[in-house]
Structure 1
Amino acid sequence: MIRAFILILVLIATPLAAETRVPQSAAEISLGFAPLVKKAAPAVVNIYAKQIVQVRSRSPLMNDPFFQEFFQGFGQPRPQVQNSLGSGVVLSADGLMVTNYHVVADATEIRAVLNDRREFDARVLLADEESDLAILQLDGASEMPFIPLRDSESVEVGELVLAIGNPFGVGQTVTSGIVSGLARSGTASGSSRGYFIQTDAPINPGNSGGALIDVNGALIGINTRILTRSGGSNGIGFAIPSALVQRFVEQARAGQSRFQRPWAGMNGQPVDTDIAESLGLETPRGLVISDIHAVSPFLAAGFRPGDVIEAVGGQPVNTPDEMVFRMTVAGLGNTVSVTRVRNGVAEQVEVALIPAPNSPPRDVVVTGHRSAIPEMELWTINPAVLAELGLPLSIEGAVIGDPGPAGTRAGLKRGDVLRAINGVAVSTSRDAERALETAGRNLTLDIQRGTQRVVMRFRL
């Protein structure tokens, strides 16, 4: 009888103990994730963002196949408020928070709501569309619950994870799964590019910017995208690694308003079977350098076209996105060890991690009223401009930073490179400015737009 009474006490006490701390073993995890959720969930917030957009009135004839072409741009644009919903993660006691760029892009008002119903205004400190990350500050916040960062480089496939967010606006929700893949690049839809952690923990609309945590309650990623055909979660979700989030936090703390990445100053392509065979490699791996800029840090370290890059910082790389990610998490101002293969021989080479040089100066010029195209902003091309606009390394000319009203009507776009004006080559913003002021009544522009050459002719 006494033994039975003791057994009952043990059965009752065990669940109570599991509720008061984070699971520390597989046996304890089987009891549930409740202690882990209680620890992490208070630091995951709901984000409500407002933005003002200009919309045009729609004519009933817009739906008619014949008339819709004639009613493009119909009506005066009028402001309209749009609301977006997402999630965010508090990273420090003073209210520093991370979310996705697309959650707060162009927002005029941002409110963060905690699961205890406290609300804070938030302002963007640092945002980057390419990485789809934004660092925010909660105004007036102190002694906030937060989730510590774990180095995502230590994450392994098969680890148990929880995704916490606000899917479909139904309120804070927790889903569980495992890390199902690493080093995923170019697979998520949307604006984000680069390198992701893949998980089968269900991620749905509204989860964007939420937390992906491990069984110790540490942040390993920021949920960002799903791979789907139906619009719902199919068990393939992607999170931005915490190693990249850490670099954003550092730059935001340092007062940067724009995220800076190390500049490679080169182009490369993945090594396939044919390339591996031609280079004498046993198996296809790494990427081969196809082009390199005159002031590239890789050129300064002795790299040249035809070299193969197999690893950066001891981690294998097989795509340009992976290489840029590895350089970024290594950190600006540092050096990183790069595995180079030349003539079948592998060696370690130290490469300096520097931002794209803003030299020579971009020398911003805005054309005046005497110009053939007034109010157009022109830049002289330098490595910083190449990186900012994604231009080819070998491009020459003056680039359009802002086409202005007249340039937009003429069909010009930001990032167009003016290579020649009326048959005269231009190489700086000042060259282009002078050529446009003396163009006369006939204007011919030789333009590079992406990989295409375009010739535009105008009668002024």
Structure 2
Amino acid sequence: MNSILKTMGAAVLGGTIILGSYKIFIEDSPESQIQIGNTESFLPVTPVSYEENTSIAGVDFTEAAEKTVHAVVHVKNLTVSRGRPTMRDYMYGRVPQQQAIGTGSGVIITKDGYIVTNNHVIANSSALEVTLNDNRTYKATVVGTEPTSDIALIKIETDADLPFVAFGDSDQVKIGEWVLAVGNPFNLTSTVTAGIISAKGRDLDVRDSTPQSFIQTDAAVNPGNSGGALVNTRGELVGINTAIQSPTGSYTGYSFAVPSNNARKVIQDLMEFGFVQKGMLGISGGQINGKVATEMGLSSSEGIYVSEVVTDSGADMAGLRKGDIITDIDGVRMKSFADLTGYVGSKNPGDRVTARILRNGKERDLEIEITKNSTVTIPALEMDLRDLNSDEKEEFQVNDGVRIVGTQGNLARYDMTGYVLTKINDRSVKNVEDLRSLMQKVTPNESLIIELKNAKGETERLRLIAD
């Protein structure tokens, strides 16, 4: 899984996605639950049922392993980076380069050679090579990536039909259900390990502004497993193995996978549009617990407390209000904000969902349209940003600019939520698209002077080095 996996809680972001969230109600244990809805798709999808005996004596892993092992590939990533210059390099003005090879796994999802893997497996690649289980080797090209969810889609060209894994419904996996992890740890190809679903909706990085939603399993996963398959006992894909939590960098008991419904949505968008469409419900808030429920006199100790409704969003137009508690969406329980993020993350703008809410102790259902999420992540700035609405322009007394809704990486330690970015290197930033265009012209390691306005209307400046 490469060195990108952090010790003690490795996860290359996820969650993504959408709903601006400041966690004002935090569980004693940062645990959440992911749920993702079904969508019609052109990728093979198999519904999950639970009629089999789930005791260890009643489970046969051989069929699932046979179905999966031939569709999981070994991915090699050749990268070229700057080497450490010698005195002779300085004298002659040379820029030394060094090559490195990273390895991981991938899952064939169509017979014509589309392969899903992790973004961190193929990041910064100069060349990609894919080796099948029968040792055939192919050059691969990148179709598209979605760094925030750590999903990438690559393609190999072959005349023969390839074995592939059908998608299962990760909404339906149950805690305690048996699963297999299939991948290439430590360059040991075609390795299968077994375990159970330990938890759902894990948010590994509590500092991140956007809750993540991972499936947790105790199937052994090690460096090299990244991008490999997590399948149920019928060989249906329920997750893409992504991260481990370990003080050593190797498996010590827990591993984490991007739920297949999230991965499928990203893949379909990349195949159809070339980019990922992101939708939002249009709220900020946080999960409640027993203590908060008692203090607020609430009748429920589970759900999402709505602390803010985004103007003109689907939630706003449906009549959702501050103080409402969302208990489920489309019949799926919402125990944490990560549940909400994960579920909405599988939807497209224009989709409609039914939210059950508690208001003044009474239940009611609201039909809410998922609206386009204007929030974008700019990796070079380590910021999540969105366009300003009319109220915010008036509040900050600006005509242009973008709202900072979250920070990542080194900036994650600073609470910049609510600031407005108005200029970069003295050039005014009108909106998100203008910022994107500007950042495309920025070179790596370029010094940037960021001009901001805080909630008091004061101008601040921040110096960053672009990634």
**1:130 to 2:148 alignment:** yes
Post-superposition offset of 1:96: 1.3
Q: After superposition, give the CA deviation of every residue in 1:91-134 in whole Å (9 maximum; x if it has no partner).
A: 11111111111101121211111010111222222211111111
CA distance in 1, matches of 2:351, 2:336: 22
Query: Which residue of structure 2 lines up, in the alignment, with residue 228 of structure 1?
Result: 246
**1:89 to 2:117 alignment:** no
**1:382 to 2:387 alignment:** yes
Q: Given that residues 88 and 97 in structure 1 are in contact (C-alpha distance below 8 angstroms), is that contact kept between their aligned partners in structure 2?
A: yes
The one-letter amino acid paired with 1:320 is F
Larger relative helix fraction: 1
Q: Given that residues 129 and 192 in structure 1 are in contact (C-alpha distance below 8 angstroms), is that contact kept between their aligned partners in structure 2?
A: no
CA distance in 2, matches of 1:154, 1:327: 16
Query: Which residue of structure 1 lines up, in the alignment, with residue 212 of structure 2?
Result: 194
Residues 1:170 and 1:287: Cα distance change in structure 2 (over 3 Å):
same
CA distance in 2, matches of 1:83, 1:198: 28
CA distance in 2, matches of 1:51, 1:451: 45
CA distance in 2, matches of 1:188, 1:87: 27
Query: Which residue of structure 2 lines up, in the alignment, with residue 6 of structure 1?
Result: none
What are the residue-to-residue correspondences of 1:148-163 with 2, within 5 Å? 148-163=166-181
The one-letter amino acid paired with 2:220 is P
Q: Given that residues 303 and 336 in structure 2 are in contact (C-alpha distance below 8 angstroms), is that contact kept between their aligned partners in structure 1?
A: yes
Q: After superposition, give the CA deviation of every residue in 1:368-394 in whole Å (9 maximum; x if it has no partner).
A: xxxxxxxxxxxx96269xxxxxx99x8
What are the residue-to-residue correspondences of 1:30-429 with 2, within 5 Å? 33-57=61-85, 77-140=95-158, 142-186=160-204, 194-254=212-272, 256-356=273-373, 382=387, 397-399=400-402, 417-419=420-422, 428=430
Q: After superposition, give the CA deviation of every residue in 1:45-65 in whole Å (9 maximum; x if it has no partner).
A: 000012222344378xxxxxx
TM-score, length of structure 2 as denominator length: 0.68
Q: After superposition, give the CA deviation of every residue in 1:328-347 in whole Å (9 maximum; x if it has no partner).
A: 22444310111222111121
The one-letter amino acid paired with 1:447 is L
SS class of match (2:111): coil
Q: Given that residues 446 and 453 in structure 1 are in contact (C-alpha distance below 8 angstroms), is that contact kept between their aligned partners in structure 2?
A: no
Residues 1:274 and 1:28: Cα distance change in structure 2 (over 3 Å):
closer
Q: After superposition, give the CA deviation of every residue in 1:341-368 in whole Å (9 maximum; x if it has no partner).
A: 211112111111122259xxxxxxxxxx
Q: Given that residues 188 and 226 in structure 1 are in contact (C-alpha distance below 8 angstroms), is that contact kept between their aligned partners in structure 2?
A: no
Q: Given that residues 239 and 258 in structure 2 are in contact (C-alpha distance below 8 angstroms), is that contact kept between their aligned partners in structure 1?
A: yes
CA distance in 1, matches of 2:279, 2:121: 26
CA distance in 2, matches of 1:293, 1:191: 17
Residues 1:30 and 1:101: Cα distance change in structure 2 (over 3 Å):
same
Q: After superposition, give the CA deviation of every residue in 1:292-344 in whole Å (9 maximum; x if it has no partner).
A: 22221110111122222222222122333321211122444310111222111
SS class of match (2:366): strand
Residues 1:450 and 1:32: Cα distance change in structure 2 (over 3 Å):
farther
Residues 1:192 and 1:216: Cα distance change in structure 2 (over 3 Å):
farther
Q: What is the number of equivalent residue pairs in this alignment?
A: 365
Residues 1:284 and 1:141: Cα distance change in structure 2 (over 3 Å):
farther
CA distance in 2, matches of 1:277, 1:262: 33
CA distance in 2, matches of 1:106, 1:445: 26
CA distance in 1, matches of 2:209, 2:374: 25
Question: Mean alpha-carbon deviation: is it higher for 183-192 or for 155-164?
Answer: 183-192
SS class of match (1:98): strand
Residues 1:345 and 1:41: Cα distance change in structure 2 (over 3 Å):
same
Question: Mean alpha-carbon deviation: is it higher for 298-307 or for 274-283?
Answer: 274-283
The one-letter amino acid paired with 1:261 is K
Report the aligned-residue RMSD: 4.1
SS class of match (2:342): helix
Identity value in percent: 29
CA distance in 1, matches of 2:208, 2:185: 17
CA distance in 1, matches of 2:156, 2:401: 41
Residues 1:35 and 1:166: Cα distance change in structure 2 (over 3 Å):
same
CA distance in 2, matches of 1:451, 1:101: 39
SS class of match (1:130): helix
Post-superposition offset of 1:201: 0.7
Residues 1:159 and 1:77: Cα distance change in structure 2 (over 3 Å):
same
Q: Given that residues 169 and 260 in structure 2 are in contact (C-alpha distance below 8 angstroms), is that contact kept between their aligned partners in structure 1?
A: yes
Residues 1:288 and 1:27: Cα distance change in structure 2 (over 3 Å):
closer
The one-letter amino acid paired with 1:123 is T
Q: Given that residues 311 and 338 in structure 1 are in contact (C-alpha distance below 8 angstroms), is that contact kept between their aligned partners in structure 2?
A: yes
Question: Mean alpha-carbon deviation: is it higher for 92-101 or for 448-457?
Answer: 448-457
CA distance in 1, matches of 2:153, 2:338: 22
CA distance in 2, matches of 1:213, 1:347: 37
Post-superposition offset of 1:210: 0.5
Question: Mean alpha-carbon deviation: is it higher for 177-186 or for 76-85?
Answer: 76-85
Question: Mean alpha-carbon deviation: is it higher for 282-291 or for 207-216?
Answer: 282-291
TM-score, length of structure 1 as denominator length: 0.69
Structure 1 or 2, whichever has the larger Rg, is: 1
Post-superposition offset of 1:35: 4.1
Q: Given that residues 214 and 220 in structure 1 are in contact (C-alpha distance below 8 angstroms), is that contact kept between their aligned partners in structure 2?
A: yes
Residues 1:102 and 1:451: Cα distance change in structure 2 (over 3 Å):
farther
Residues 1:338 and 1:236: Cα distance change in structure 2 (over 3 Å):
same
CA distance in 1, matches of 2:208, 2:221: 15
